[in-house]
Structure 1
Amino acid sequence: MGEITAGERYGLTTLTSWPRIYMQLPPRMTQSLRSTRDALDAAVNLCWSFLAMGLASAVALYDEPGSRWLPAGMLITAALAYKGAVIAAQAYSGLMHVVYDLHRFDLLEALHHGLPTKELEREMFEQVSDTLAGEWVADLPYEHRRGRGSHVRDTDGGADAQ
């Protein structure tokens, strides 16, 4: 659910903004996300593997009453791996929410948009989401800064110091 709701609270479509906001994260945050995602992937792979092995062993050992514990054990292990996958997915979702809480304005800066007021924040992020989805937004402000003391051309072609 985090892949859908993390950015939507602020007006950002998570699926289109995540690849861009992820690139703005500090190394410590990306390491946490990678670690949690690896745990999720491992738990899901274990779940499917034990499920497949449990079903295959049930078919292979259907006429061996003394070996029925083996498929049952594998299915129980698959259920435990599933529980682990759910826990890892919740942790990953929580980290995605933290990313949007702390770094959504870094995304605006990287896309050369100014910071909105609190009242206009949601509208600004909805416009950014529309732009990232391929729609053209006419009134989305654009500010290109090259650092302190740089010059930006105004609409008349003159240079204004920022």
Structure 2
Amino acid sequence: MREDALRRLAARPPGDLLLPTALGNALRAGELTAGERYGLTTLPSWPRIYLQVSDRMAEVLSSARDALDTAVNLCWSLLTLTVISAAALYDEPTRWWLCGTGLLLAAVAYKGAVTTAQGYSGLMHVAYDLHRFDLLEALHLPLPTDGESEEEIFSEVSDLFAGVRREGRAYEHPDARRGGGSQPTQR
């Protein structure tokens, strides 16, 4: 029970960044921690790293996102149906159980959406774990040699995505004339 409580707390964003809904918090937790563990700001880097993921990973991410969208749409549909049913059955007290059932089903769909969002956030973490260096290669930047240089280069990449350019970073472009070796150039 204690491990479950710790897992749930770890899946929440910090207190000053909490959102009013569990679904928002589940998505925010992934947005704030997936890339930040490596020095990348997740929101600006996510569209770029998503294009670097393998076909299999893209399929899994797409499937998880479709499941999330479906669960959220089902929740809203059930809530809308409940409101319409309540309006239509306001003078039929023997049928109010239908509204209660609709509300219960909407709550179950919402819980499913939160669980699916937590899974999607976990997949975002996996995408950064497996493909962050592919992003550097696509940007023609050298790979880091250790954890400290990794955080430094990803911090610079995050600044680049935010429109802040730092001088002195060497690009590595394959030299086609010499059989694919790399040749550093300054920016």
Give 1 or 2 for the bigger CA radius of gyration.
Answer: 1
TM over 0.5: yes
Aligned-residue offset at 1:146:
5.0
Correspondence for 1:124 = 153
Tell me by how many angstroms 1:52 deviates: 1.4
Which residue matches 2:63?
Answer: 35
- Quick check: 2:170–2:184 contact (8 Å CA) kept in 1? no
Distance 1:57 1:114 in 2: 61
Instruction: Tell me if structure 1 keeps the 8 A contact 2:64–2:119.
Output: yes
Distance 1:73 1:140 in 2: 60
Counterpart CA distance in 2 for 1:87 and 1:146 is 48
| CA deviation map 1:15-61 (0-9, x unaligned) | 11111111111110000000000000000000111111112211221
**Distance in 2, Cα, partners of 1:154 & 1:50:** 58
Please say if 1:149 is aligned against 2:158: no
The residue that corresponds to 1:68 in the other structure is 96
Distance 1:153 1:136 in 2: 21
Q: What is residue 140 of structure 2 aligned with on the other side?
A: 112
Cα distance in 1 for partners of 2:50, 2:119 equals: 16
Q: In the alignment, which of 45, 52, 56 is matched to residue 24 of structure 1?
A: 52
Residue 50 to residue 154, structure 1, CA distance change in 2 (3 Å): closer
Name whichever of 7-16 and 145-154 sits farther off. Answer: 145-154
User: What SS class does the counterpart of residue 24 from structure 1 fall into?
Assistant: coil
SS at the partner of 1:142? strand
Contact 2:31 2:42 in 1 (8 A): yes
Distance 1:120 1:139 in 2: 15
Looking at structure 2, the residues matched to 104 and 127 of structure 1 have their Cα atoms a distance apart, in angstroms, of: 14
Gaps spanning 5+ residues in structure 2: where?
1-28
**Aligned structure 1 segments of 4 or more residues deviating by more than 6 angstroms:** 151-155
Q: Which residue does 2:78 correspond to in 1?
A: 50
